[in-house]
Structure 1
């Protein structure tokens, strides 16, 4: 990660006064917009999941004990060391602090990776940067993708089983599933951009007036066209390509797992 930041810093210094700086600024602004949009969507989708446990606490203030609603935990609690009901408020506060820290950490990491990819789109002629970017994030993407598929399948199963008996719980899981889908899409969209930008080089070579150039230039353009016809990609463990097509495949796979779980339960 540090090496990527140093490369970005050097690029900004090198192109500080040239026309290339306008391209860098354009993609930097777009990356900033994506990050702000991602931050807003994540917190808006997670808000129902985080606020529903607070409803009984607020409601019980204004009603008698006989009409009170049972308190809910933010997450399922398993009593290993202490009774979570007796220590309800410390557990609830700890759950919220942990959730806020985790969500902000995920948003910050994903935003940084998006910044790297947008910079690669701006300076796509530097192929080595793209390779370094893929090597730096391939393993982390692999584990994150696997966890997201498992969580999507689990939350989808919970929604399907609780929608009739416990609508509030189903709503919380639906909000969480939406957040997972947003995370996956946010990671897939820049990857799709990178593929599109890499293929544009090949298309632009074909559209150019290459026949007006020298013989030596034409030979160089042939090699450029051959190399750029192979799209540069960000992968998860060198197995899964981070693009929109793969995003759709993950959603379909998760839905299939939910159907399997429901059939097993029946």
Structure 2
């Protein structure tokens, strides 16, 4: 029997790190979740509080919104995942039930292949956030440890600045390390939130692709074994049952996807807005910081822009894979020798082919369908907004 939870082992560690693992329901876990969310929200609030003490200019607004759009997206995802904790748990149990009933060795091999894909995605994303977070923290040390002073052996005290434009209403120089700790904690929570929740959705979608692949396999095997007319007539009921099983697991894959979308559709739409705003503003900040004098701001904006593009790309890549795997089911039904089967079987297969005329994918409110075309549209929109901002400025 397949234990589907083995493919979520690394996801479990990441979600436990921010208090979002659905099977952890102790009072301490709930308190820990509140603390993580509070750090994230206060970091966003204190960034907007800069408008209280500083003159509000277009440049300041854009430079405040460029990181806060990413932070806001992470906060939305954290809150949505926390509210839908039972749904996340239910989805895993559904997959465990469906895959636990498989007995065919080839079908089990398909599950293992797609489960390993999910684990690899999670592992790679984990390494990326470790590198990116370490790099951001390392950039902050640039203000404290200046190579120019080391080479010239100067003892000039270097001014200390936080990596974000943020206002805590306290003496920044006096409480610098405490404030820096708060910012670094918020950055760690944001990166882990985006990666852990995103990796969970990737794992779900990979296992859904596995269901589509099993449906294709069952349709192919239902006809391939029986190629002689006499044998077909003798085993009509067996072919019929095999195709019914293929249609059933295809239906379960679609129902699972629709259940997932129904709970997180609004969250995904808000993330698209945050992503487009973030990418536009961070590209603007990159062009504004094209100088060694602003190396810290340049590196930070580059990391935010690249992270946004990577997040958009992976989300739409997984959506494209679901479209392709669903289409493959109907392509398999089209390629098999269905015309050799009895009339009753032919009618069922023709019904499948008619269903294949309608493209199925992760459709968000009828506005976006996760695909590579959607990724290109979002990036193009971000660049268009950046062009408008840059020309006006």
Q: What TM-score results when the alignment is normalised by the length of structure 1? A: 0.91
Whole-Å separation in 2 of the counterparts to 1:202 and 1:17: 22
- Which residue does 1:82 correspond to in 2? 170
- Which residue does 2:36 correspond to in 1? none
- Which residue does 1:215 correspond to in 2? 343
- Which residue does 1:104 correspond to in 2? 192
Q: Decide which of 364, 371, 379 is 1:251's aligned counterpart.
A: 379
SS in structure 1 opposite 2:287?
helix
Q: Is the 8 A contact 2:330 2:356 kept in 1?
A: yes
- Which residue does 2:159 correspond to in 1? 70
Q: 1:70 to 1:16 in 2, by over 3 A?
A: farther
Aligned residues: 263
Q: CA deviation at 1:235?
A: 3.0
Query: Does residue 138 of the first structure (1) align with residue 265 of the second (2)?
Result: yes
Q: Decide which of 219, 233, 240 is 2:361's aligned counterpart.
A: 233
Q: 1:179 to 1:200 in 2, by over 3 A?
A: same
Q: CA deviation at 1:261?
A: 0.5
Q: Decide which of 75, 93, 105 is 2:181's aligned counterpart.
A: 93
Stretch of structure 1 that moved more, 39-48 or 140-149: 39-48
Q: 1:55 to 1:166 in 2, by over 3 A?
A: closer
1:109-120 aligned at under 5 Å gives the runs 109-120=197-208
Q: Is the 8 A contact 2:289 2:295 kept in 1?
A: yes
| CA distances 1:217-263 after superposition (whole Å, capped 9, x unpaired) | 11111111121332321133442111111111111111111111111
Q: Decide which of 121, 140, 146 is 2:209's aligned counterpart.
A: 121
Q: CA deviation at 1:77?
A: 1.3
Q: Is the 8 A contact 1:48 1:171 kept in 2?
A: no
Q: What value does the CA root-mean-square deviation take over the aligned residues?
A: 2.0
Whole-Å separation in 2 of the counterparts to 1:185 and 1:231: 21
Q: CA deviation at 1:47?
A: 4.2
Q: Is the 8 A contact 1:235 1:241 kept in 2?
A: yes
Stretch of structure 1 that moved more, 122-131 or 96-105: 122-131
- Which residue does 2:275 correspond to in 1? 148
Q: Is the 8 A contact 1:134 1:233 kept in 2?
A: no
Q: 1:42 to 1:256 in 2, by over 3 A?
A: farther
SS in structure 2 opposite 1:58?
coil
- Which residue does 1:182 correspond to in 2? 310
Whole-Å separation in 2 of the counterparts to 1:88 and 1:188: 40
Unaligned runs of 5+ in 1: none
- Which residue does 2:100 correspond to in 1? 13
Unaligned runs of 5+ in 2: 1-87, 213-249
Looking at CA atoms only, which structure, 1 or 2, has the larger radius of gyration?
A: 2
Q: Is the 8 A contact 2:160 2:173 kept in 1?
A: no
SS in structure 2 opposite 1:86?
coil
Q: CA deviation at 1:40?
A: 2.2
SS in structure 2 opposite 1:74?
coil
Whole-Å separation in 2 of the counterparts to 1:212 and 1:194: 30
Stretch of structure 1 that moved more, 198-207 or 37-46: 37-46
Stretch of structure 1 that moved more, 57-66 or 42-51: 57-66
Stretch of structure 1 that moved more, 128-137 or 153-162: 128-137
Q: What TM-score results when the alignment is normalised by the length of structure 2? A: 0.63
